[in-house]
Amino acid sequence: MMMKNGNLLYLFDFDGTLVGDGDWKGFFRNTYSCLRYKVRINPSRFDIRWSILTGRPRIDLSIIKFVCLCQALKPEEIFTAPTLFYNYKNNEENYRDKHKLIKNILDGKTRLKYSKFPIDKIIYVDNDFDCIKFLNGNREQYRYLAIPVKDFLENKLTGILL
């Protein structure tokens, strides 16, 4: 059974976790891969509150919404990188932006459109082990946990946040 309460938010990475290919091969190839193959995991079937947190830039928001519509994914919100175009020089910059957004949600600086409740716990699900390692290594006092999809499906490690 998945952990559920009003203060808990599940965030899922887009490319390689929900749909498509995790290795960045360019805009057109990754978008084609997202549309061509079936959904890897659909969090809606678990009856949880979830959103997408992706390293794709804001310009890709309409593409992400279109893929979600085609693949029957129904996230509450979609959080993209704070840049308009692809400006990351390396993956660590992407991880830092994800970490910053997670901290802003937990601090209440980034409010969720659909919820009046403040979020005090986040579970971030991703297939990129370097990102998981970075996020878990920089948690400080924040109550979030980054886990791989396998652990999410097997419901492991979520008790740490209680």
| Nearest by Cα to 55 from 14, 23, 27, 21 | 14
Spatial distance between the Cα atoms of 152 and 162, rounded to a whole number of angstroms = 16
d(CA 155, CA 91): 27
Residue ranges of domains in the chain, CATH in brackets = 8-161 (3.40.50)
Structure tokens at 87: 């400006």
The answer to whether the Cα torsion of 111, 112, 118, 119 is positive or negative is: negative
Identify whether the C-beta of residue 120 lies closer than 8 Å to the C-beta of residue 87.
Answer: no
**How many residues does this entry show for the chain?**
162
Quick one: pLDDT band at residue 157, thresholds 50, 70, 90? Answer: low
pLDDT in tens, 42-85: 998 888 889 999 988 898 899 999 989 988 899 999 999 888 88
Residue 2 pLDDT class (50, 70, 90 cuts):
low
Tell me the per-residue pLDDT of 93-114, one tens digit each, with 9 for 90 and over: 999 999 999 999 999 898 888 7
DSSP string, 114-145: T-SSPP-EEEEE-S-HHHHHHHHHT-TT--EE
**15 has a pLDDT exceeding 60:** yes
| Cα–Cα dist 51/49, whole Å | 7
Q: Identify the helix (H) or strand (E) that includes residue 4.
A: none
Distance CA 6, CA 1 (A): 16
